[in-house]
Amino acid sequence: MEFVILNGNIINRSEASIDIEDRGYQFGDGVYEVIRVYNGKMFTAQEHLERILLSAKKIGMEITFTVEEMKTLLAELIQKNNVQLGTIYMQFSRGVSPRNHPFPVPAVPQSFVAYTKEIVRPLANLENGVKAILKDDIRWLLCDIKSLNLLGNIMAKQEAVAAGCYEAIQHRGDIVTEGSSSNISIIKDGKMHTHPADNLILNGITRRKIIEVCEKGSIPYVEAAFTLADLENADEVFLSSTTSEITPIVEIDGKQVGNGMPGPVTKKIQVLFDKEIETECGSLKANMK
Ligand SMILES: Cc1ncc(COP(=O)(O)O)c(C=O)c1O
């Protein structure tokens, strides 16, 4: 039996349903998070849950659960579904109301949905790297909000997949922003470059961990926008996200990155990142490494 969270209650998935006039369904009016689970424990839950509160605030929604309440509920869901290695998906929408663009007055209860999935680590991609395409970033200008509106992202991802690639590296004019579902970083002369956490990217939790491990591991880094030319001349390129972790990018638009193999700085960051996972969630067993 699989359990899910619906509006704060843990129930059977087969009994969970959402009204056709839910604003998440009709307008994409809501926010979401994806949290990784290793050894049955959530990784960086605090950061993800703080980010969902912030995303909600930015769209004028005050989530009625505290971080601690959400943590307790999600941990119970993981336990009930017996997830060892996987993810939690969670979303809050502005609730159910007759279809009309303005926010409902008076406000209606938010819809809160969460479920778990068993997912292995993408070990082959982590080791060998993936291919990417370049794509105009046509999304709106509030990419810092983890909003349910993902049309720009999914269209970019689909173009990458149709081209036999894993990710679309988006750019606004000359400036590289982020992937369709990941942040993008480059290494040049041993230094890691990542786009600053402004409105043009989602401030990835993995990206923040990478900055933390760069500090711990004495890897120089800079949070500064970089150009398409910088990307082309980079020694190493990688993408980062909760599910893809730190995945090397070895080819962009058919052109090899560096020598076409995952580079030493990326590998060092991967090792340091694994240590962070192990510190929070316990050791990664043979089939997880
Ligand atoms: C557009 C976008 N940027 C960046 C990320 C990476 O964020 P995180 O590391 O918090 O998963 C994601 C994750 O899904 C994303 O969708």
CATH of the domain at 93: 3.30.470.10
Q: What is the pLDDT of residues 271-284, one digit of tens each?
A: 999 999 999 999 99
Question: Both 159 and 235 in a single domain?
Answer: yes
Which mutation among 171, 177, 183 tests ligand 1's pocket best, with the greatest number of atoms within 8 A of CB? Answer: 183
Question: Both 245 and 161 in a single domain?
Answer: yes
CATH number at residue 260: 3.20.10.10
pLDDT score, position 179: 99
Continuous segment of H or E residues that includes residue 264: helix 264-281
Domain final position from 79, 101, 118: 118
Which mutation among 51, 202, 208, 239 tests ligand 1's pocket best, with the greatest number of atoms within 8 A of CB? Answer: 202
pLDDT score, position 238: 99
As a whole number of angstroms, the distance between CA 208 and CA 196 comes to: 11
Q: Catalytic residue among 135, 146, 157, 209, which?
A: 146
| Three-state DSSP class for residue 59 | coil
Neighbour-count burial for 158-178, b at 16+ CB within 10 Å, e otherwise = eebeeeebbbbbbbeeeebbb
Question: Both 256 and 213 in a single domain?
Answer: yes
Question: Both 162 and 248 in a single domain?
Answer: yes
Q: What is the pLDDT of residues 211-252, one digit of tens each?
A: 999 999 999 999 999 999 999 999 999 999 999 999 999 999
- 40 falls within a domain: yes
Q: Among the atoms of ligand 1, which is closest to the Cα of residue 207? A: 9
pLDDT score, position 285: 80
Q: How far is the CA of 2 from the centre of ligand 1 (A)?
A: 26
Ligand 1 pocket, Cβ-based, cut-off 6 angstroms: 153, 178, 181-183, 202, 204-207, 240-242
Q: What is the pLDDT of residues 62-108, one digit of tens each?
A: 999 999 999 999 999 999 999 999 999 999 999 999 999 999 999 99
- 268 falls within a domain: yes
As a whole number of angstroms, the distance between CA 128 and CA 60 comes to: 42
Residue 287 above 60 pLDDT?
no
As a whole number of angstroms, the distance between CA 102 and CA 99 comes to: 9
Asked whether 197 and 213 are in contact (CB, 8 A), the reply is: no
Neighbour-count burial for 266-277, b at 16+ CB within 10 Å, e otherwise = bbebbebbbebb
Residue 289 above 80 pLDDT?
no
User: Whose structure tokens read 């983890």?
Assistant: 146
Q: Among the atoms of ligand 1, which is closest to the Cα of residue 47? A: 10
| Three-state DSSP class for residue 69 | helix
Domain final position from 118, 151, 167: 118
Question: Both 162 and 271 in a single domain?
Answer: yes
DSSP character for 15?
G
Q: Among the atoms of ligand 1, which is closest to the Cα of residue 146? A: 16
What is the pLDDT averaged over residues 147-165?
98
Q: How far is the CA of 98 from the centre of ligand 1 (A)?
A: 32
Rounded to 10 deg, the angle between the 264-281 and 205-216 helix axes is 100
Nearest alpha carbon to residue 192 among 83, 90, 282, 272? 272
Q: How far is the CA of 80 from the centre of ligand 1 (A)?
A: 27
pLDDT score, position 252: 98
Residue 49 above 70 pLDDT?
yes
- 237 falls within a domain: yes
Nearest alpha carbon to residue 253 among 232, 225, 227, 230? 232
268 catalytic residue (yes or no): no
Tally of domains within the chain = 2
Domain of residue 113, residue span? 3-118
Q: How confident is the model at residue 286 (pLDDT cuts 50, 70, 90)?
A: low
Question: In sequence order, what DSSP letters do the residues of 121-182 get, joined into one string?
Answer: --HHHHHH-EEEEEEE--S-S-TTS-BS--HHHHHHHHHHHHTT-SEEEEEETTEEEEESSS
